[in-house]
Amino acid sequence: MAQVCCIVFGLGALILATVAVTTGILLWRQGHLQWHGKGTTANISEIILRRCESYTPRKGLQLKEKNCKEIWKAFKNSFISKDPCSITEEDYLPLMKLTNQTVPCHQTLFWSKMPTLARQLFQDQRKVFSLEDLLLGSITDGLTWCGSRGTSEMNYQSCPDRRKDCSNNPVSVFWKTASKKFAADACGEVLALLNGSIPEPFDRNSIFGSVEILNLNSKAVHLLQAWVIHDAGDSRDSCLSSSINDLKSIITERNIRFTCQKEYRPARLV
């Protein structure tokens, strides 16, 4: 009888230990040391509200109305108290509706691997607009954010990295959802700025390659112009490279015309 009691006691202790370890792992996963990416940007609420209040649509863009407090609330509710590795596009739909804004035909700009130059090239003329020129992209540009399941607090210590942790994290899903809508709304001729000073100007795994070009409406968009930007003195013609040929293939298969031209940074910046 004593032996049976010892066995029962041992099993009970083993079960309790397993529960404790499992609970510890779950708590650790929700802790601040689990992720490889930067934590939520400090003072993110103040930054987004300030950017929202000061945002004025540039000439050519329309915005019916904006309620910055509601926009912040929708933004926060899209990820707070949720598993930061299980965020979905549906989580961001209320935010998308509050910031709905489209670019006029022939004025949509995509870019890949060159965010700073994309802004510099068109900061004066503003004849084309990127996602970052819209209210939605403007208020979130350069920020990081995430929370943890079961808590209303943000994680300021670390957030999931797309490659090292999970792709369904708050920031990655946000930009994928916003980019998908931005591309789907495009019409007429669209422009794409690509970095010709790297081995592969077109990357299928980039947002441009995996989301934007695949969501262009071929009934609305009839031409994609690729500008491959090189550093001065670079004599390569990237328009003939295998990666640009890959892009051309994808675009033409979608019944959209494709053109490519080589440009130099100094000439365009001047």
Q: What residues act catalytically? A: 105, 187
Q: For residue 154, which phi and psi values (nearest 5 degrees)?
A: -85, 155
Q: Cα dist. 107→121, 128, 190 in Å?
A: 14, 4, 6
Residue 179 and residue 144: Cα distance in Å, rounded?
17
> C-alpha angle with apex 18: 12 to 24, nearest 5 degrees?
135
Closest CA to 158 of 29, 255, 51, 1: 29
Taking each helix axis as running N to C, give the angle between helix 68-77 and helix 44-54, from 0 to 180 degrees, rounded to the nearest 10. 140
- Give the length of the chain: 270
The tokens describing 211, both together, are 């989301």
Chain centre distance of CA 155: 19
- Cα separation, 156 vs 144, in Å, equals 9
